[in-house]
Structure 1
C-alpha cells in the first residue's frame, strides 16, 4: 500500500511539474474526411496530447431541419480549423456553458488523443455525454485532456440538441421527439467510423454520461440497433429506470409541446402540421428565454415501450443487448443535493415559528413530492414517514436532511440497485461505485446554485465530475475561487481516471497500482467506495433500496406486503394517525395562500427535472 501511494504521489508531482513546461503548437493532420488543423501539447520536445476541437459530425439542424433526425456532415472542403471550441447548443443562459457562444449549428465533437495518431495505435475510446436535465450543458466545459493523458485513452466529448430543440414532440405527427438521442447516436457512429484516423480503436468504445448524460447512455444501451456501435457503458448518477429520466407529472413532454405550440403559434391551433412548421421558424433566443423541461419519450421508433418494461422483458433483443455490455453504475452518496435550491427557497419563503417548520419540511417538501408520483395514498405516506423517521419534534434541518436522504434513495440509489441486479450475468462485467468524498468546490455552482446547507456532509451530485474532469481547473467552476486542489485531491482524481480508463480498455477497472475493485454480483453486492480512503463494501443501502423497489410498489397498488420474507424492510401497516403531526402545517396553508404552495411545488418539479 505504501508503494502504491508513493507511485501515485510521484505521478501527481510529475504532472504538476510538467504543466509549467508545456507549450502548444498548431499542426495539420490528414484524415479520410479531409485535412484538419489541430493542436499538439508539447513537453520539451515530446508530444503529450493531440487536441481537435469543434469537429462537425452532423449538419446544422436549422429551420426545416429543426425537429428532425440529424444528417451526417460528411467530408469538408479545404482544411478544417479545429483549434478552438465551438458554440453550445441553444439553452437558458448559464455562464459556465456559453463561454464560446450559442448556436443551433452546434452538433460538433472534441477529441483528446494521446500519441500517436496512426491507425495501428488502436487506443480505446471514451465518449462523454454531458448532463444538465437534457436542457443545459456543453461539451467544451469538460476538458478531456487529463483523462486522456492519465489513462492513455482517446476522450471524445459531444454536443447534442437540448430542451425543446432536442425533445419537442407532438403525438401523431412528424415531430416525434428524441432528436437529442439521435444526435448522440450519430456522434458515436462518427467516432466508430473515423476514430482510427486519430489512433483510436473502433472496436473498443465506451460511452460515459452523468446525470441526464447517464440517463442518455443508459437509454442508448437499451436500443438493439446500437449493437456493435459501443461496447461498454458507465452511468454516473443517472440510470434509465429512474423516475427522473423523464419530465415530471404536469410537465409531460407531449403536453408541454402541445401547450407551447398552441401558445406560440396560435393561428395554427387546429393544424398540427402547420404548428410544427411555425415552431421550426421561431427565433431560438425567444425559445430559450425561460427554463422549460423536456425529455425523451416513447416514440414508437427508438422506443416502443418504457425502459422499465424493456428491462423486465429479459428475453427481448433490447434486454439481451444491454446484458452483453460491460457496465459501471455510480452514485454520489448525496445525489439528492439537487434538492438544496428547493430547500433554500422553502426556508426563505416560509417564515414561521420554528416549532412549525419541521412539519412544513415534510408537508410542503417530501409529502408533496411523493403525492406527485404516488397520489394521496395515506398508507404509503405513513410508511415512508416512519421509515425515514420524520419525527414531529425534529428540527427543520433534521427533516430536510431526511428529505434529501429519501430523495437520494428514491431517484438514485434504488434505481441503480435495480439496474445492476437486472444486468448481472456471466457474459459481461458489472461494477458499482459510490462517491462520498467531497470535491474542493461545491459542484452545484456550475448550475448557479447557492452554497449548500451547513448541515450537509458527503458527496453532492456532480462531485464525481469534478474529480474526473475539473480538478486541475477549479476556476472553471468558480473564477473567483482561491481554493486549490490538494495533492490528495489530485491523487484521487488520478486513481478515478485510471479506474475509468482501465474499464474502457478491458471491461475491468483493476490494475496492480490500484486498490482491488470487486466485480458486482447478486450475492456479494460489492461496491467500491471513494471516501477519504478507497475501500470496497457490500450491499450499499440495500434495506433502503428494497423499501423502494418492493414495499412501496405494493403499497402503491394497495397490495398485501406481509408475504415478504425480509420483514425488517416491511413496516407494520398501522392507521395513518401517525401523520396527524402534519395537521398544523395544513392549518397554515391559508396563511401562505395558494400562490406560495404552487410556487414551492413548481420549484420541486423543476429541481427534479434539472438534472
Structure 2
C-alpha cells in the first residue's frame, strides 16, 4: 500500500499542473487534474455547454445542440444550476440561471490513454423542481472504480415542464434536455476514453424517474445499454401530472399574463416574464396543503411524443415496451426501506408555506381516511372511490386503531411514490426480457440501513439517504447533509465505509458487466439472483446483506392488483371510457 501511495502521490505532483486537453467532435476541451480524498488523481471537464441557451424565444421549446467552439474551451468551472425555488430547501427565494444547460465529465487520470472505459451518466433528482449536478461529486467513484461519470443540468420547474397540453407548449423540455445531453455523450465520450457501447444512465428520485422516461422514449434506442433507477419511476405519483394546462393557467394568472387568452398569447406573455419571477410563483399552486405535500406541479406530462400515454398504461403494455426496445437493456432498480420518510420534510415545508398543520393532522384517523388517502389515489390513478380508500386503510392501519401512526402515513406515500412504481418497472422489464429471450437481466435491491451518524434517526433508511453511500461518503456531501441536522458532525465508522464501498462496487460492476455479483460475493456468500417471477428475488442491502423475495409483498399487491381491480369496477359502474382508468395489475 505504501508503494502504491507514493506512486500515486508522485503522479499527482507531476501532473496536477498539466491540464488535460481532449479533442472531441464537439470541440477541444481543457479540463483540470484533481485528486480525491484518498489522493487518487482524476480529470474533470466542467461546465461544457451541450445546448444553446434556452432563453428568450427559445424558452418553452426543445433545446438546440450547442455547435461547440473553434478555440479550446476552458472546462474548469461548473456551470450554474438551472433556475429553481429554494422554499423546499428551507430558504426563501430563487437561485440559478436560465442559461444552464451544461454537463461535466469525470475520467480516471491514470487511464488517460485507455479506451473503452464504462460510462455512467448521472441525472440528479429533486422532484423536477430543484437540484443540480455539482452537488454530486463522483470523484470517489471515478477514482476507486475506474469508470467515467457524466453529470448533467436540465431545466426544472415551469421552465422545464410548463405545458399548455397542446402544440403551443407541449412541455417535457427538461426531458428533452436530458435526451440531448445523452446524444452529446454518445457522440463525444469516446474522445474522453469512454466506451460508446457501455453507457449506463443512472439517477435517484426524479433522476430515477427520468431514467425510466428516457428508457421509454423511442428515440433513445442505442444511446445507452443499461439503466440504474434509485427510488423513482415513470408511474410515481409525483412524477407526472394530468393537470398541466390548469397549472399553466394558474401560473399565468399569478404573473399577470391573462390565462383567459388563447394559449399562444399566454405563452408569448410568459416569455416576457423574468425567469426568476416565473419560478418564484410556481410553488405552491392553489390552496390545498395535502396536495402540495405530495405533488409537484411542473413535472413531466403526457405529450403524445416523449411521454406517449399514461405511464401506468405504458408500463403495462408489452407491445409498447418491445417497440421502444426495453428488452435490449439491462436494468437495476432500488428503493430504500423507508421511502415515505420524505413526508416529514415535505409536510414541514408545506405547513410553513400554508400556515397549516398537515404534519400532525394527518395522524387523525378521519383526516387520513377521508382526505389524505383520496388525494394520493387521485395522484396515482387519476381517480378514487370509497372502496379504494377502505382497501388502502385496511392495509396500512391496524384494526381498531384510534389514531394513525406516522409510519403508516409514510408507507402510504412512499409506496405510491417510489416502492410500487419501482417494482412495476422491474416486473415489466423482467417479463419482457424473459418472453423475448434477449438475455438482458433485471436486478433489484432494497437499502435497509440506519445511518449510524445521523442522530435520532427514524426507522429504516429515508428517501435520499442512499445518496450518501452512492457517492462514497464524500466529505463535502456529508458536510452539507450535516448542516441540515443543525450542524451535527457526521463521522461514519468503518462499517459505514465498507457499506458505501460495496454499493459503489455493485453499481459500477452492473454498469461494466450487467451483473453486480462480483461486488457482493464475499459479503453475501451466495449468488444474487436476477429479479424475475415467481421468486422476485432482491438484495436486502445492509451491513449483513441477504437475498429476499417479493419486496413489500402485501403493500405492492394492494397497489398493483387490488386497487386496479376496484378502479376497473368503478370504470364499469360509471360507463367511462377514460383510457387512464385501465387495469394495471
Q: TM-score, normalised by structure 2?
A: 0.82
1:437 aligns with 2:449: yes
Aligned position for 1:467: 469
- Distance in 1, matches of 2:312 and 2:383, equals 20
Change (3 A) 1:532 1:28: closer
Structure 1 CA distance, aligned partners of 2:315 and 2:423? 13
Which position in structure 2 is the counterpart of 1:29? 21
In the alignment, what sits opposite 1:254?
245
Match of 2:290 in 1: none
Q: What is the match of residue 130 of structure 1?
A: 124
Return closer, same or farther for 1:504/1:436 CA change in 2, 3 Å cut-off.
same
1:244-393 to structure 2, matched below 5 A, reads 244-247=238-241, 252-266=243-257, 269-292=260-283, 293-316=297-320, 319=323, 321-341=325-345, 357-366=364-373, 369-370=376-377, 377-393=385-401
Task: Tell me, in whole angstroms, the C-alpha distance in 2 between the residues paired with 1:359 and 1:456.
Answer: 25
1:88 offset after TM fit, Å?
A: 0.3
Match of 1:151 in 2: 145
Aligned to 1:519: 530
The answer to whether the 8 Å contact 2:209/2:234 transfers is yes
- Against the structure 1 CA distance between its residues 376 and 166, is the aligned structure 2 distance closer, same or farther, given a 3 Å change threshold? closer
1:420 is the counterpart of 2:431:
no
Q: Extract unaligned runs of 5+ from structure 2.
A: 284-296, 572-585
* 2:85 matches 1:83: no
Q: Which residue does 2:197 correspond to in 1?
A: 203
SS of residue in 1 equivalent to 2:319: coil
Deviates more, 1:85-94 or 1:426-435: 85-94
**Residue number in structure 1 paired with 2:550:** 539
Bigger shift: residues 465-474 or 110-119 = 110-119
Q: Once structures 1 and 2 are overlaid, which stretch shifts more, 417-426 or 406-415?
A: 406-415
**Cα distance per residue 1:379-425 (max 9 Å; x no partner):** 222222222234444555x2x21121222223322222222121112
**Superposition pairs of residues 565-584 of structure 1, within 5 angstroms:** none
Distance in structure 2 (CA, Å) of the matches to 1:52 and 1:267: 44
Q: Secondary structure at the match of 1:35?
A: strand
8 Å Cα contact 1:431/1:518 also seen in 2: yes
Q: C-alpha offsets along residues 494-539 of structure 1, whole Å, 9 cap, x if unaligned?
A: 1111111111111111215563422111122110111232221111
Structure 2 CA distance for partners of 1:84 and 1:475, relative to 1, 3 Å:
same
Contact 1:86–1:101 under 8 Å retained in 2: no
Alignment of 1:453-464 (within 5 A): 456-464=458-466
- Larger mean CA deviation between 526-535 and 253-262 belongs to 253-262
Deviation at residue 291 of structure 1 after TM alignment: 4.6
Are residues 1:173 and 2:164 paired?
Answer: no
* CA deviation string 1:19-78 (max 9, x = no partner): 99977445140313333221113599x972111111111111110111111111122142
Query: Using the alignment, how far apart are the partners of 1:264 and 1:210 within structure 2?
Result: 32
Query: In structure 2, how many angstroms separate the alpha carbons of the residues matched to 1:181 and 1:352?
Result: 32
State the partner residue of 2:493: 486
String of CA shifts for 1:101-143, please: whole Å, max 9, x gaps: 6211111111110135657521010000011111100000000
Listed one character per residue, the Cα deviations across residues 399-458 of structure 1 (whole Å, up to 9, x for unaligned) are: x2112122222332222222212111232100001011133566xxxxxxxx9xx68210
Q: In 2 relative to 1, CA 106–374 (structure 1 residues): closer, same or farther, beyond 3 Å?
A: closer
- In the aligned structure 2, how far is the partner of 1:546 from the partner of 1:422? 15
Distance 1:489 1:164, change over 3 A: same
1:290 Cα shift? 4.1
Q: Secondary structure at the match of 2:315?
A: helix
TM-aligned CA distance change 1:117 to 1:106, over 3 Å: farther
Relative distance call for 1:359 and 1:18 in structure 2 (3 A) is: farther
Q: Residue 252 of structure 2 contacts residue 258 of structure 2 at CA under 8 Å; is this kept in 1?
A: no
Which moved further from structure 2: 80-89 or 267-276? 267-276
* 1:404 corresponds to: 410
* Root mean square deviation, CA, Å: 3.5
Residues 407 and 29 of structure 1: CA distance in aligned 2, closer, same or farther (over 3 Å): same
Q: 2:191 and 2:200 mapped to 1: Cα distance? A: 18
Matched residue SS, 1:133: coil
| DSSP 3-state at the match of 1:238 | coil
SS across alignment from 2:325: helix
Show the 5 A alignment for 1:96-115.
102-115=96-109
Match of 1:411, SS state, is helix
Q: Report the counterpart of residue 550 of structure 1 in structure 2.
A: 561
Instruction: Report Cα offsets for 1:305-360 as digits up to 9, x if no partner.
Output: 22222233312365551121100010011111121135657899559999x94554
Higher-RCO chain (CA-CA 8 Å, sequence separation at least 6): 1
Which has the higher Rg, Structure 1 or Structure 2? 1
DSSP-derived class of the 2:184 partner: helix
**Cα pair 2:340 2:414 within 8 Å, conserved:** yes
